[in-house]
Amino acid sequence: MEEVAGAVIVTQEGVAFFQKGDWKNALRVFLRVQTKDTNEILELAYYTGLCYAKLKCFAEAQPYLEKYIKEAKDKRRVYQCRMTLAYAYIMTKKAKKAQYELTVLVNNGFESVQLYVTLAYAAWLQQSYTDAIEWYERALSVDSNNLTALNGLGFILADTGQDAKKGLRFCKRAVEKRPDSPVYLDSLGWAYYKDGKISEARKCLKKAREKAPDDVFIQEHLEAVEKAI
């Protein structure tokens, strides 16, 4: 494709779509732009990667985000892209790569609840439960009411049998704040099951299935509880 005349103007059009949250049209514009200018290439990598991520095209987002992280100097944007790239890696079952990106941020002094809970989830995917617990606890030390951390920590403590009663308390707190979340209801139901409270477990898991009938994990948990009755 020939270089588009007025690449800067075209890019600005894409940025306008991006700022409105119109990721699809923004991406359409960015993919049209051809330029040899180094700064423009990086700018396009930044926006194109984020657009793909917003559209849940996680595999497509990765090379653009990787390029921006490798070559850009803007620390704020690099942080944003590392976080987004880590999430894209998690969604494409590359937990170890996600953990690497997030650890770089921690080592560079960045701190946030989102960073800690994402690290915890990446550790959980790799069955590094001790690390996952530590990261969730660190997240809760920053925000004691963070629902993702409460739910994640509660689930792990119950599921691994380390402390089912404590896990149950954490899961209850998450559901109290968001009673219609099928994810939180599933964790609470499983924590009840691990604590030997079968009738309460069944009630929670049935409610979770009603809200997310196609969720495989909820179905597996409910089947396990039904067998225990």
Residue 140 lies in a domain: no
Residue 151 lies in a domain: yes
Residue 190 lies in a domain: yes
Domain final residue, candidates 61, 85, 109: 85
Domain final residue, candidates 85, 101, 116: 85
What is the value of pTM for the model shown?
A: 0.86
> What does the pLDDT read at residue 217?
95
- Structural domain boundaries enclosing 45: 1-85
Residue 108 lies in a domain: no
The first and second tokens of residue 60, run together, are 């497509």
> What does the pLDDT read at residue 20?
96
In the chain, the number of structural domains is 2
Indicate whether 61 pLDDT > 80. yes
pLDDT band at 7 (very low <50, low <70, confident <90, very high): low
H-type helices in 55-94, by residue range? 58-71, 75-91
Return all residues near 177 (Cβ < 8 A) that are at least 6 apart: 145, 147
Residue 131 lies in a domain: no
Mean pLDDT of the region 59-67: 98
Residue 101 lies in a domain: no
Amino acid at 85: L
34-38, 131-135, 174-178: least confidently modelled range: 34-38
The phi, psi pair for 126, rounded to 5°, reads: -95, 10
Residue 107 lies in a domain: no
Indicate whether 183 pLDDT > 60. yes
Residues 141-173 have pLDDT tens digits of 999 999 999 999 999 999 999 999 999 999 999
Residue 17 lies in a domain: yes
The first and second tokens of residue 171, run together, are 């899961």
Domain final residue, candidates 51, 66, 85: 85
* 149/40 Cα distance (integer angstroms): 39
Q: How far is CA 222 from CA 153, 156, 158, in A?
A: 20, 17, 16
CATH number at residue 181: 1.25.40.10
